[in-house]
Amino acid sequence: DVKVTQSSRYLVKRTGEKVFLECVQDMDHENMFWYRQDPGLGLRLIYFSYDVKMKEKGDIPEGYSVSREKKERFSLILESASTNQTSMYLCASSSIRTVNQPQHFGDGTRLSIL
Partner 1 sequence: GESVGLHLPTLSVQEGDNSIINCAYSNSASDYFIWYKQESGKGPQFIIDIRSNMDKRQGQRVTVLLNKTVKHLSLQIAATQPGDSAVYFCAALYNYGQNFVFGPGTRLSVLP
Contact residues for partner 1, defined by CB under 8 A: 4, 31, 33, 35, 40-43, 45, 48, 50, 58, 90, 94, 96, 100-108
**Shortest Cβ 107–partner 1 spacing (Å):** 4
> H-helix or E-strand containing 36?
strand 31-38
**Shortest Cβ 13–partner 1 spacing (Å):** 20
Rounded CA-CA distance 100/90 in Å is 20
CA distances (Å), origin 21, targets 89, 96, 97, 98: 9, 24, 27, 29
In the bound state with partner 1, the residue whose beta carbon lies nearer, of 17 and 107, is 107
In the bound state with partner 1, the residue whose beta carbon lies nearer, of 28 and 79, is 28
